[in-house]
Chains A and B, each alone.
Chain A
């Protein structure tokens, strides 16, 4: 085997290793994004509860407040819901909500269940007393809180496992190819 061939093999092995480590980093980043989404959902639901109980704001008004104070992931979609709902001949609010939340969550690294829970939140609305209404949304808050806490707790271990697996996979692939 010539020196050039060895160098090529070494470079190939390095590339495979780098690629698998990169994949590992990507997977870990996805997990971080998932946590960011869950944290934002949790803040949104808590803010909604506060605005319902203390301000007795309607859903479009809450969207306007969230357009200013929600995190960057959901801010734009709440602005869009508020603007479109206020337009002459605007479509029905639950449809509009579903449409916009679906758009923003399209590529979000959330599980199907986690996506659905903010998506169908207007279905919880309809109670005629603000405290009961906030309580009803509270069930979503509990779920978001639990998901978020679990994801945060698991993140450290998950990250180590993802890196180890990706490095090992890279090594295995290198050995096999060599």
Chain B
């Protein structure tokens, strides 16, 4: 990953303070800016606070606080001084920037008459989540996701948040698109509703999602899946974070058109109650032939197991 991308997220006058980030690019996970509090950074699972001179400290005491002017300046810079062009993203509470990194934001929400979010004013909290591409992370699991004749099974990745679902999905997309030892390259269409898979910036994928991949960025999954099927005739359709019944209906329609499916969903077995409702619906739909469960152990993510459509571990 290019550490310069992280430094260039900040306006020129602030860059000296963030130069250290370039050196920690591979292990830097998050930068948190909260007005009135010192800037914090999560490096390799450990929290540090950032001094005025850019030095990292374990304790926040005596460190300068982030100002409201700074957060506004950073936001304007991230939006290329054209905040109106990012109004839809801001409404959703995040921006994707060059390099595929994601900036979450919070502040005071302005509502429409019907209760929908119109805008976030006074953006006072920023959370920069650094995108880490791990090329090759899915290689070892490919033989269990192909049928032996080059056909890809419809696969669902399941895990609680922060266990690497999107990273795994991205690498699977790359492998399927480029082709691998188990199957030839296929045309993959990605509906990237929250710009997390391809990390598109100005419409161009910033992450490696393969040579035969088309990305529909910032589009709701339901509409996006049908748009791509009609317009790009994909062999494989990939989506992240399946939600309600509507997503499932769109997936069924896509599967009915002959597309293979790659998808992720938040979840996992819950103590006492089996699976959450939407998970139960997805599993009982019989759409997926492979389930890959991921989990976090200590500070590392790992694949807990791969199951077939009948729930048998492979």
Which A residues form the contact surface with B (CB < 8 A)? 52, 56-61, 85, 88-89, 91-94, 122, 125-130, 132-133
Contact = CB atoms under 8 A, between A and B. Distances in A.
B81 A128 contact: no
Contact of B4 (A57, A89, A127, A133): A89
A117 B84 CA distance: 21
A88 B7 CA distance: 10
Contacts of B82: 52, 57-59, 125
Q: Is the interface of B mostly helix, strand, loop or mixed?
A: helix
A88 B4 contact: yes
Contacts of B80: 58-60, 85, 93
B90 A128 contact: yes
Q: Which has the most chain A C-beta neighbours within 10 Å: B11, B13, B85, B121?
A: B85
Interface residues of B, number: 20
B85 A57 contact: yes
Contact of A122 (B11, B15, B81): B81
A130 B84 contact: yes
B84 A129 contact: yes
Contact of B12 (A91, A125, A128, A132): A91
A128 B4 contact: no
A125 B87 contact: no
Contacts of A125: 81-84
A81 to B, nearest CB: 11
Interface in B73-108: 76-77, 79-85, 87, 90
A58 B12 contact: no
A60 B85 CA distance: 11
B83 A92 contact: no
B77 A128 contact: no
Given A58-B79, A92-B77, A128 B84 contact: yes
Given A92-B77, A126-B76, A56 B8 contact: no
A83 to B, nearest CB: 14
Given A88-B8, A89-B4, A91-B12, A58 B85 contact: yes
Contacts of B77: 92
B208 interface: no
B8 A52 contact: no
Contact of B85 (A88, A89, A122, A130): A130
A127 B81 contact: no
Contacts of A88: 4, 8
Contact of B83 (A57, A61, A93, A127): A127
Given A126-B76, A129-B87, A89 B8 contact: yes
Contacts of B121: 128
Given A60-B80, A85-B80, A92-B13, 14 more contacts: A52-B82, A57-B85, A58-B80, A59-B80, A61-B202, A91-B12, A92-B11, A93-B80, A125-B81, A128-B83, A128-B119, A129-B87, A129-B119, A130-B84
A126 B84 CA distance: 7
B195 to A, nearest CB: 16
Nearest to B72: A126
Contacts of A93: 80-81
A59 B12 contact: no
Contacts of A56: 84-85, 87
A166 to B, nearest CB: 46
Nearest to B11: A92
A129 B76 CA distance: 14
A57 B84 CA distance: 9
A126 B12 contact: no
Contacts of B85: 52, 56-58, 130
